[in-house]
Amino acid sequence: MENRHGLLLDISVTAADTKSQWEAAEQMLKRQAKKRRRPRTLGGDKGYDTKGFVGMLKKRQIAPHIAANDKRPGGSAVAEPIRKRKGYAISQRVRKRIEEIFGWMKTIGGLRKTRHKGRARTQLAAEIVGTAYNLLRIAKLKPDLGMVVG
């Protein structure tokens, strides 16, 4: 999701385990790079607060705006100077929007329980529902130009 307008940029259907989600995030970053897009920050929940994932972001020169998991043995992988920045605090507030998108996709978009067999078909369904979400979101963002009926 991009933070400014809350639009869904990419989606990936994976197994419900942490390693698959990390790999999917890295694949999404690679797809964005092919489109010549280079995010400066990446937000995520505490599940992404690992040395491996944060290290991958640092290699790509992406600031990890990941929720710090200080209760984890060894502490958070997100450096303290990053966590003290104003942008980090803003990202943590905006980060909940992605959960709102997932909620919409599950309740309105019908993805709570898939009707498709196989990851490829489920991925396509997720992309279609994501597109529908973006169209509705864009319609809400666009200023009302007023209807002129001839």
Q: Are residues 56 and 15 in the same domain?
A: no
Q: Are residues 5 and 25 in the same domain?
A: yes
Q: Are residues 33 and 44 in the same domain?
A: no
- How far from 76 is each of 43, 67, 68, 70, CA to CA, in Å? 14, 9, 5, 5
84-101 pLDDT, tens digit each: 999 888 888 888 888 899
Q: Using CA atoms, how far apart are residues 37 and 30, in angstroms rounded to an integer?
A: 10
The pTM is what? 0.76
Q: Using CA atoms, how far apart are residues 112 and 65, in angstroms rounded to an integer?
A: 28
Residue 144 is assigned to a structural domain of this protein: no
26: left (phi over 0), alpha (psi -120 to 50) or beta: alpha
Residue 142 is assigned to a structural domain of this protein: no
- For 43, phi then psi, to 5°, come to -95, 150
Q: Are residues 100 and 89 in the same domain?
A: no
Q: Are residues 116 and 49 in the same domain?
A: no
- Quote the percentage of the chain above a pLDDT of 70: 95
Q: Are residues 28 and 99 in the same domain?
A: yes
Residue 101 is assigned to a structural domain of this protein: yes
45-56 pLDDT, tens digit each: 888 888 999 999
Those residues whose C-beta lies under 8 Å from the C-beta of residue 104, and which sit 6 or more positions away, are 133
> How many structural domains are present in the chain?
2
Q: Are residues 99 and 89 in the same domain?
A: no
What band does 145 get if pLDDT is binned at 50, 70 and 90?
low
Q: Are residues 119 and 49 in the same domain?
A: no
Task: Write the single-letter amino acid at 80.
Answer: E
65-80 pLDDT, tens digit each: 988 888 877 788 888 8
pLDDT at residue number 74: 79
Domain with 70 in it: 40-94
Residue 16 is assigned to a structural domain of this protein: yes
Q: Are residues 46 and 72 in the same domain?
A: yes
- How far from 4 is each of 1, 87, 90, CA to CA, in Å? 9, 13, 11
Q: How far does the chain reach from its first CA to its final CA, in angstroms?
A: 39
pLDDT at residue number 142: 77
- How far from 22 is each of 27, 72, 131, 141, CA to CA, in Å? 9, 18, 23, 31
Q: Are residues 122 and 82 in the same domain?
A: no
Q: Are residues 44 and 33 in the same domain?
A: no
